[in-house]
């Protein structure tokens, strides 16, 4: 890597391929499809990933990319998104921080998400959980909450604004 102008993709791949593959096998149940989807995740992440991204940021980006790739896979197969990659499943992602199952020790990003969500009103929290942690479409989230599509868009917009404010407050307190 000359002058750190771009990430060392071999290292990024080597450090992350196992957990991405395991996550995909867990979700699709087929090793061959999981291999293909794992490759798609890394190909999709190759260009947009910042050269100066920290290890935690790389893993968070790969997780988000995995959600998107998996959603596209299910959409191709079944015509709709049915992806859910919850916080409990991210416990398998190595990030160097201590972790245990059953919530005894929670990774820093999970703690941060939980702290942000805890500051939100119930409806805002639920919309963000459905949309971003459970990968619901806007329409599916609206159906789950018993509101219109337009209403869920407004709730999501406000929830994101509130979450950003909560994140700033939490960051200032840290």
- pLDDT band for 171, please (50, 70, 90 cuts): confident
Architecture of the CATH domain 104-174: Orthogonal Bundle (1.10)
Identify the CA nearest to 89 among candidates 146, 27, 169, 1. 27
Identify the CA nearest to 15 among candidates 56, 68, 76, 75. 56
Q: Which residues contact 151 (CB under 8 A, 6 or more apart)?
A: 142
What CATH code is assigned to 1-90? Answer: 1.10.1740
Name the residue with tokens 């407004």: 154
Could you give the residue range(s) of every CATH 1.10.1740 domain in the chain? 1-90
User: What is the chain's mean pLDDT, rounded?
Assistant: 78
Predicted pLDDT of residue 110:
67
- pLDDT band for 105, please (50, 70, 90 cuts): very low
Could you give the residue range(s) of every CATH 1.10.10.10 domain in the chain? 104-174
Could you tell me which residue, 128 or 42, shows the higher pLDDT? 42
Per-residue pLDDT tens digits for 109-159: 667 778 888 999 999 999 988 887 777 888 888 999 999 989 998 998 898
């Amino acid at each position: 890597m000359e002058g750190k102008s771009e990430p060392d993709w071999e290292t990024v791949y080597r450090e992350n391929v196992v957990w991405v593959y395991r996550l995909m096998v867990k979700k699709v149940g087929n090793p061959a499809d999981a291999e293909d989807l794992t490759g798609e995740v890394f190909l999709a992440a190759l260009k947009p990933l910042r050269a100066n991204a920290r290890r935690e940021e790389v893993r968070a980006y790969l997780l988000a990319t995995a959600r998107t790739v998996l959603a596209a896979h299910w959409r191709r197969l079944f015509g709709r998104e049915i992806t859910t990659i919850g916080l409990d499943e991210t416990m398998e992602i190595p990030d160097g921080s201590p972790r245990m199952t059953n919530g005894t020790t929670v990774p820093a990003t999970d703690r941060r998400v939980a702290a942000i969500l805890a500051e939100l009103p119930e409806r805002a929290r639920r919309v963000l959980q459905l949309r971003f942690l459970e990968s619901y479409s806007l329409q599916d989230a609206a159906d789950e909450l018993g509101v219109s599509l337009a209403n869920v868009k407004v709730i999501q917009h406000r929830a994101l604004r509130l979450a950003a404010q909560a994140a700033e407050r939490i960051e200032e307190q840290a």
